[in-house]
Amino acid sequence: MIKLKNKYFNILTIINKKYSKMAEHSNVIHLNYKEFDAKYNELKQQGKPFAVLFTGDNVPGTTDSWCGDCVRAHPVIQSTVIPKCAELHIPFLEVLVGLREEWKTPTHLIRNHPDLMLTNIPTLLLNEKGKFTKKLVEGQILNKSLLEDFFELDD
């Protein structure tokens, strides 16, 4: 019985290390875009800061997004953004917007959300006191200086 538990633990450890460093931080919340509004309203009402990343879903059967810019931003999100959110004790929402065809639909919920009106992914937003105050889009997420400014929270 113990051997099975150890094997199970080892498998989970390998999976976590390889595919989901985000899982190491308890402040990370994974959502699909249809779940976003409920969580957004809950966090907005609390009035505390939180960060949101809108990104493309993985291509079925792979561990990579269909969105090339999202793939390029992923290491920065993992190594910089998520740890910084953890350090600041603010929630980080990763919101999957769907596959390419779904995201490109003009009536997509996130494209038409009155507080967002997004046109590009990846998009990283910071919400402070119930309003989105900062935004980085596509290649801006890779810019170290812009990321540092992004996490300068208003008091």
Q: Which of 22, 43, 67, 110 is catalytic?
A: 67
Which of 22, 51, 53, 70 is labelled catalytic?
70
Please say whether the beta carbons of 89 and 35 come within 8 A: no
Task: Establish whether 67 is a catalytic residue.
Answer: yes
Contacts of 55 (CB under 8 A, 6+ apart): 65, 67, 70, 73, 74, 94, 95, 96, 97, 121, 122
**Cα distance between residue 129 and residue 93, in whole Å:** 16
Active site residue 85: no
Active-site amino acid positions:
67, 70
